[in-house]
Structure 1
Amino acid sequence: MIRYPELEAGAVIGVTAPSSGVGEELRELLELAVGRLQKRGYGVVCGPTAWTQEKAKSAPAAVRAAEFNKMMADESIGLVMPPWGGELLIEILEQVDFSKMKCKWILGYSDISVLLLAVTLKTGIATAHGTNFIDLRGEQTDPTTAMWDKVLSTPSGGSVIQHSSQQYQLEWGGGEPSPHVFNLTEATSWKTVGNQAITMHGRLLGGCIDVIRHLIGTPYGEVRHFQQHYIHNEPILWYLENCELSVTDLRRSLVQMKLAGWFEHCSGLMFGRSAANRPMDGYTVEDVYQELADELGLPVAYDIDCGHLPPQVTLVNGAFAEVAVGEGKGTLTQYFRA
């Protein structure tokens, strides 16, 4: 069965960097985020790794793992939230103590999705794919991002509805400063292969495909075991987002996932928006989605609010979800059922 944490009002947020920390030149961003969350009534405790960055990581793997383990075992902390993603989270998995984790939320995306997926697959504790801590530093929060705490406050047995955003951010940098942090300038449109309205149901699993693909064949990527032991053999509804992969590398990665059995007993797939989806020799990401839909015989939605072109809905690994997509709009209902 899936166990769902519940975020309480005034909870303490533990900020640790199991991947990248915030170097001295960007320290102000983390300080701003701490202040914003404190003004909203949350307690914030930052571990030393949150403030350091060297050689593509916040600290050596053993140090990162020890700090994460400490926060997960600390009953006074209600939510663990890394400052942002990074590159080398996978280094800490061997030293993560899955057996002593308290049932509490972990929230993040990008490289953090390696940790999120591994925790849910190995323990049955639901984890949350969504905004990172740094992106909550704005004077205001856009309506899509702002749903993170409502989702995490949903009680076990309850449900929560989210809708597609109105606009999204096309690229990082440039533009006028925004009180929402993001520069939301482009009209959002959720799409489907075949351009037909679709509805999908299943247990959510997913993350950034660039990094979660590296769990295949390891003790941290046992999807079949998770399906049999934690979700009563219910179908999986995958959500995936591409940060930097070429369309051909994306295709290779999806074929690898298929060959590894990750798409067995699957009810559908959703793909986030991506700036990396540039055609190669006339081969487009729409071709990739069409091929996957044809091979698996499953519905595929894409350009959803997930990933590196914000804002993002908050997707809970392990939750049962109903997703409806049509006429450019999307509705996501998550049920926190065991």
Structure 2
Amino acid sequence: MIRYPALNQAITIGVTAPSSGVPTELHQVLKEACTRMVEQGYRIECGETVWTQEKAKSAPAKKRADEFNNMMKKDEIQMIIPPWGGELLIEILEHIDFENMKEKWILGYSDVSLLLLAITLKTGIATAHGTNLVDLRGNYSDETTAMWKSVLQTPTGSSIVQYSSEKYQKEWQHDHPSPCVFHLTEETNWKSVSDKKVLMSGRLLGGCVDVIRHLIGTPYGDVRFFSKNYIKEEPILWYFENCELSTTDLRRTLVQMKLAGWFENCSGIMFGRSDVNTSVGGYEIEDVYQELFEELQIPIIYDIDCGHVPPQLTLINGAFAKVEVENGKGTVLQYFTE
């Protein structure tokens, strides 16, 4: 069964960098995020790795893993939020202590999603794909981002609903700071391949497709084991977001996932918005979605609130979700069902 960590308001958040740390010139950004969390009643404990960054990583793999493992063991820390993602989190997986892992929420996305998915697949502990810490440094958060608290405070056996955002951010404007961090200017429009009302449900799994694809064929990406041992082979509802893959590379990745059995007993697939979905030799992202729809004969929706084009929903790996999309709007109802 799936185990959901408990979260109360008065908690200590551990901040560690299992992928990239924060370079010296951006330390103030992280300090602002930590200060904002303290103002909201949380306690913050930062590890050494968050303050360093060299050669595309915060620290050597063993040091990153040890710091994460220690925070997972400490009773004083009830939740972990990395500052952001990065590039080389995969290096730490062989050093993670999956066998003795306590139930704590881990929240993040991008490269962090590789760790989230690996933990849920191997242990059955639910993990949270959503905002990172530095994007919580504003005076306030938009309604979609702010839902992370309500979602993670949902008790086991209960449910919570999230709605598609009204607007999203087209491009990052770090040189124009604003009270809300994100500059939400574009109308959100969730789409489906069928152009019809879509209803689908299943156990959520997913993350940044760029990195979680590298779990295929490893002990950390055994979807069949997860399905058999933790969700009694209930249907799986996948969500993906694409950070850097070309249209053709995304297609190759999805075919590999299919051949590896990741889409067995799959009830639907959701794709987040992406700003890299450019044409390759006339091959469009819509062609990728259409071909996947024809091959799998399951609902395919896209441009949902997930990933590097914010804001994004808080999606719980392992939770049972019912998703509805119609006329460009969507709802995601998540049940914290064991």
TM-score between the two structures when normalised by the length of structure 1: 0.99
- The amino acid of 1:114's aligned partner reads L
**Match of 2:147?**
147
What's the offset of the Cα at 1:177? 3.0
| TM superposition shift of 1:171 | 1.3
Corresponding letter in the other structure for 1:322: K
Note if 1:54 corresponds to 2:61.
Answer: no
SS in structure 2 at match of 1:218 = coil
Point out where structure 1 has 5 or more consecutive residues left out of the alignment: none
Corresponding letter in the other structure for 1:293: F
The residue identity in structure 1 corresponding to 2:111 is D
Question: Paired residue for 2:37?
Answer: 37
In 2, Cα distance between equivalents of 1:177 and 1:287: 37
Identify the residue that residue 299 of structure 1 maps to in structure 2: 299
1:106-255 matches, cutoff 5 A: 106-173=106-173, 176-255=176-255
SS at match of 2:301: strand
Q: Is the 8 A contact 1:129 1:316 kept in 2?
A: yes
Question: For the residues of structure 2 that align with 1:78 and 1:190, how far apart are their CA atoms?
Answer: 34
Contact 1:169–1:184, Cα closer than 8 Å, also in 2: yes
Moved over 6 A (4+): none
Q: Hey, what's the Cα distance between the residues in 2 that align with 1:247 and 1:241?
A: 13
1:284 aligns with 2:284: yes
Q: Distance in 2 between matches of 1:67 and 1:271?
A: 32
- Residue in 2 aligned with 1:270? 270
The amino acid that maps onto 1:188 is T
Aligned partner of 1:239: which letter? Answer: Y
What SS does the aligned partner of 1:144 have? helix
What residue is the counterpart of 2:87 in the other structure?
Answer: 87
The aligned counterpart of 2:8 is: 8
> Could you tell me how far apart the structure 1 residues matched to 2:227 and 2:23 are?
40
Residue identity (%): 66
Q: Secondary structure at 1:82's aligned position in 2?
A: coil
Q: Is the 8 A contact 1:176 1:183 kept in 2?
A: no
Question: Displacement of 1:76 after TM fit?
Answer: 1.2
Task: Extract unaligned runs of 5+ from structure 2.
Answer: none
Which is worse superposed, 308-317 or 172-181? 172-181
The 3-state SS of whatever aligns with 2:128 is strand
Structure 2 vs 1, CA of residues 110 and 32 (structure 1 numbering), >3 Å: closer, same or farther?
same
Report the equivalent of 2:314. 314
**Could you tell me how far apart the structure 2 residues matched to 1:29 and 1:145 are?**
18
RMSD: 0.8
Name 1:20's counterpart in structure 2. 20
* Cα 1:179/1:146, change in 2 over 3 Å: same
Amino acid at match of 1:230: Y
Give the drift of 1:75: 1.1
Query: What letter is aligned with 1:305?
Result: D
Give the Cα–Cα distance (whole angstroms) in 2 for the partners of residues 110 and 10 of structure 1: 27
Kindly tell me the number of residue pairs found equivalent between the two proteins: 338
* 1:58 to partner: Cα distance: 0.2
Q: Post-superposition shift, 1:176?
A: 4.4
Change (3 A) 1:21 1:305: same
How far the C-alpha of 1:173 sits from its partner, in A, is 2.3
| Equivalent pair of 1:204/1:320 in contact (CA under 8 Å) | yes
Shift of 1:281: 1.2
